[in-house]
Structure formats: structure tokens, C-alpha cells
Chains A and B, each alone.
Chain A
């Protein structure tokens, strides 16, 4: 398994710098007759949405026609998100107005799901609206692997989050929820998926043929469900991931991350049930997989973690003798 993961890391993990030539990307896209849609799901993002729209429209629609269609899909913002988005010419939709016959649920997953109906692209690129250091690479980096390789169906972004490192090698991991919840769960039950460095990142590009065939939890579990379902149906080969360097966004409180983890855990256990794994859990893996980066090369760090258990002290004869415990 390790060699499969290593091979996948070698062939399906990219750095956005590999795709700097947007002109070439556009040529490849046009040669394949692909249409690409960009969706930004929003809920009260007035501070960052304007910049995202300006930069994506300028760089990826007007300067280089990589994106054919661009929509903001909102969950009911109460601030000026919609006003700002519209003022820069974005197509703005309320999630509630799309497919009204199926009703309206509140959550980011709802916006992502309804985008499949609303947008026409063969590939849909999702980018969160809370990115402070927005740049065209947030789209080019995740859509390029799908343009260049037709076997790739789902590409995730990951980011460098260095706190500090003194040598050339640095640890490269996800956010807190990924490292504390998702990576241990994947390592235990779906070890190949532990090769995704940031499975929860909100930036990903997916082919329509995949999006239209997977269910969408509407809350915190949407990214986790996607990864599990796509993996189950199409395998690790369908995935790619791209390093987009740094992403600056607002930090969430530990309490908020607790809520997120609770939602994700529900989704995860639902998936175990759906896959028939609850009653026949696989042999638990004891290899824990993390990552380190050297330059643009990523490698796994595997650690054998065996949770050996000691029996209750009272069962130890020496203990019983010392304290005069009789049978």
C-alpha cells in the first residue's frame, strides 16, 4: 500500500507553479471542448467577496478565458455580500431560488449541490469566499490537473501552513480538524485516503459526471462525504491534489471546530453504515500517516502506533500478594 500511495503522491500531487502558463491551459481546455464553471458559495462574506470576483473575472475570464461561467450562490447573507458581488458583475443566486421544488436547506453543501443544476460547465470549480489572499492560482492550480489528465476527476487544494521551520524540511498538514479527526479516521479505515494532505479544504474542482452521481450532505460533512464516495466508486486514481502555497483566512474558534467535527463524524459513521462496514470493521491499521515537504516534494511519514493495553492491576498476582487480596 505504501508504494501505491507513494506513486500517487508522485504522479497526482502538484504545485500550482507547474500551471503558471494560463494561456496554454486555455488552449488545452478549448482543444478538448471543455466548459468550466466557477462557483463561490457565500454566507456573509462582504469583506472578501469583492476581491475574489474582481481578480477571477479579470484574470480568468477577461485576460485569459479559462472560466466560462462564474456564479455566487448565497445561503441568505445578511450583510452586503450580495450587493458587493453584484456591483462587480457576478451572477448572484440565492440557493433557495434554485430548484425551489426540492425545498431549501441551510448549509454550504446545499449551495454546492444546487450549483450542479444551475451551472453548465463540464468541470465545476468551487472556491470558498473567505480567502484574504485570493489569487488566480486558487482556480488554475485545481482545475489544471483535470484539464491535463482525463483520468483525474476530483482535485483538491492544499496549503502550506508553516508556523515556523528552520531547515529545508517542514511538516505539511491540514487544519486542526483534519489532523485531529480526519487523518486518524482515514488512517484507521481508509489508509489510502490519508494521502490527501488537506481533505477538508474548500477549494476543489470536479467533473460533472462525478458531481451528478454523488449525494451531498448539506452541512460540515460535505467534503468528507465527497472523498469517501468518490474513492469508493472511482478509487484513489480519480483524485489529485495541488499545493496552492499559503491561504489566509479567518481562524475559527475551537468551539466552532468542535461543532464541525461533530457533523463530520456523523457523516463518516453514516458512510461506514452505508458501505456495510459497521458490523464488519476491517482489521485496524496501526500505521499512522502524516506528511512532510521538502521544496515541492511531499513524502509520507509513517509511524507504527499500537495501543497496547495493560490488564486491571488487580489481576496481577504480585499486586494481589502485596496488598493481601484474596480470590
Chain B
């Protein structure tokens, strides 16, 4: 047991060195996980892989819950408290995408390798990591691969776990593949929505002019872009995807827009949602068509303070790696944990490029910084250095 945070930080270079022999085991886990397609709601095969690994490592309470989360416990010496270490298991890539990974001397490339095969691999390799470093914690570690995280999944996995879990959780760590130096300790206000335009089949095209669903949706986009948004606190509306029509010369009768609002300001997301609803009503009435807003996911902004001991510790750890902490809010599992009052952070394990593209890639060598950072944070939480006084 370390007596101070300084001792923990001093041990980071030694840990980093001692973790090198685990390279093949960690990378093999990342590769095998990465080659199992896992679009949201279809994570079962990946979670089964996790579960099998937990069994091979002799962990306790291995289970797959009703929401499809896979978890296991690394028992602590006292076991009075629990630290949750989680990573989302789903990806943005569908089953048909070629999930073959390719390995170079310094990097791995393949869809989903950074988001979040590497994060999951770190979780399944953690028991081996602790064994190699000869570390044992007083707290139990709950290792979890979360299902239904992205898009329509709306954090279904972590929410189910938090609503039904009976174990006291002292702190949470959300592990992402990239970027090393990432420090998320607040969840941003977020609304993920879809706007659907449907032109009725009996629509009188001559009466209202030659507009189809594409034109109507474009009007909606233009009007949303005209909404004045202050630069501080940060607020952003992102139009993520648009689908409409079938060919060059056919009037499109339906259209779909997916968008996300993110804001650090309390209440801003709700205000913007109201304004968008007003725009939609107005255009629907003027054009005699059906326009509908569906909310897919919504989160309230919340977070730890910058000076919270867990955030401060993370900053010290990242600085010790000679990396500048990159503070960014999260819309992932972190928001579920923070909303439940569990002090938590999200961290990244390595450097990477092209996240969520087919040529997504990660660098191999910085992973050892990322893993020693994770170990140091676990030691800090277990040692009580991240608790609020």
C-alpha cells in the first residue's frame, strides 16, 4: 500500500517497464475483440468473449446481465468497497463491415480498434496486469464491458447496471482507446434527435409548389442554423446524417435527419429543443406535411469539480507521463455514473487516428503509458487519495 500520491506517481515508470512483456497478450485481446463485429444491440458475441476471458483468469461473480453487460469481480483484500472499471463494447460499424485488423510494427489498423476494442482489451487484460505488477487492492474491482452504449443504445447497458446494482461503488473509471491524455470528469448536456419528414400520398404538389421532403428538411436545417448560439458556455448543434429520396427524378416523400445538441450550460439543451420543435411545427403547418421530432437520447450536464481529488490526481498522473491533459466533457458511460453521484473519470489509453472510420488506427507503444496511468489511478482510488474530505 502506497502512503502518498507521490509514491504512486514515482512508481509509474517502473510499471510501464514491467508491463512491456504483456504486449502480445494485450494486443491479441484487442485484435480478437476487434474482429468480432458488435454494432449497438448486437454485442453478445463480444461480451461472451469477455466472459470467457474472465473465466480463464479465475475471476469471481462472472455474469452477463439482462441488458447484455458482461462483468466480473477481482476480489480485494478487504472487499468492503468496489471500483468500477468499464468500457463500452459496441461500435459504430455494422456486421457487414470487414472487421479484419492489420498489425504493423508500431500500429494497429482496423474499424473500431480505438473505439473501443483497445478499451475492452485493457479491461480483460487487467487481471493479468495486476498479477504481473504484483498488485492487490483492498477494494474489489468490478470489470465491465457495457452494452448498448452508442447512438440509439442511449447508454442502456450502464443505466441498467446502475439501476439494479446492489454493490456500493466508490468510484468509476471509463476506459476508451484514445486519446492518451484525455481527461473527462463532466458529462455534457446532450440531446440526440431525429427529424422525420413525411409527405402524405394525397399531397397536392401543384397547390404548394414543387417541394419534396428534401426541400422541407433543408428548410428545417437552415432555420436551426439561424438560431443564435452564444460562444460561451460552449454549445453546439451537429447535423450527423441525412437520408432522403430514392433517385434523380422522383419526388422524395420522406426524409430523415439525425442531429445532436451538446451544451455545457444547464437548461440550454432544453431551450434549443423547444426552439427546434417550434420550427418544425411552423414548417409542418405551412407545408401541410408531417414533420416529427423524436428524441433518441438526452442527458443533463453534470460533473466533478476541477479541484475534486480524483480529477486532481488524474491531472498529476497525466503530467507525470509528460503529456498535457486534454479536458473534454463526455456523453458516454461517465454521465450515467456522475448522475448517480459516483465520482468518475474517462481516460484514453493511446494515441490514434481516424476514429470511427474504416482506417481507424492506434499506436502501440504509448499504450504502456495509458495502462500505467490506469494502474496509478486505481492505486490512488484504492488508497483513498481520490475521496472528497
Contact = CB atoms under 8 A, between A and B. Distances in A.
Interface of A: 46-48, 50-51, 53-55, 57-59, 62-63, 80, 83-84, 87-89, 132-133, 135, 248
B102 interface: yes
B297 interface: no
A57 B31 CA distance: 13
Given A54-B24, A58-B25, 17 more contacts: A50-B102, A51-B101, A51-B102, A51-B103, A54-B103, A55-B28, A57-B28, A58-B27, A58-B28, A59-B28, A62-B24, A84-B103, A84-B104, A87-B106, A88-B24, A132-B100, A133-B100
Interface residues of B, number: 16
Find the residue from A54, A89, A248 having the highest chain B CB count within 10 A. A54
Contact of B24 (A57, A80, A83): A57
B240 interface: no
B105 interface: yes
Contact of B31 (A55, A63, A89): A55
A38 B31 CA distance: 20
Contacts of B31: 51, 54-55
Given A133-B35, A248-B100, A89 B24 contact: yes
B32 interface: yes
B28 A48 contact: no
A248 B101 CA distance: 12
Interface string B17-48: 00000001101110110010000000000000
A46 B100 CA distance: 14
A135 B100 contact: no
Given A133-B35, A133-B100, A248-B100, A50 B105 contact: yes
Contacts of A62: 24-25
A17 to B, nearest CB: 13
Given A80-B105, A83-B105, A133-B35, A54 B100 contact: no
Contact of A63 (B25, B27, B101): B25
Contacts of A132: 100
A47 B102 contact: yes
Contacts of A80: 104-105
Nearest to B100: A132
Contacts, number: 49
Nearest to A22: B56
Find the residue from B28, B29, B105, B106 having the highest chain A CB count within 10 A. B28
3 nearest A-B pairs in the assembled complex, by CB-CB distance = A50-B103, A58-B28, A87-B105
A135 B28 CA distance: 9
A249 to B, nearest CB: 10
Contacts of B103: 50-51, 54, 84, 88
A54 B28 contact: yes
Contacts of B104: 46, 50, 80, 84
Nearest to A59: B28
Contacts of B27: 54, 58
Contacts of B106: 87
A323 to B, nearest CB: 60
Find the residue from A51, A53, A132 having the highest chain B CB count within 10 A. A51
A81 B45 CA distance: 32
9 contacts: A47-B102, A50-B103, A54-B28, A54-B31, A55-B31, A58-B25, A58-B27, A84-B105, A89-B24
Contacts of A46: 104
Contacts of B24: 53-54, 57-58, 62, 88-89
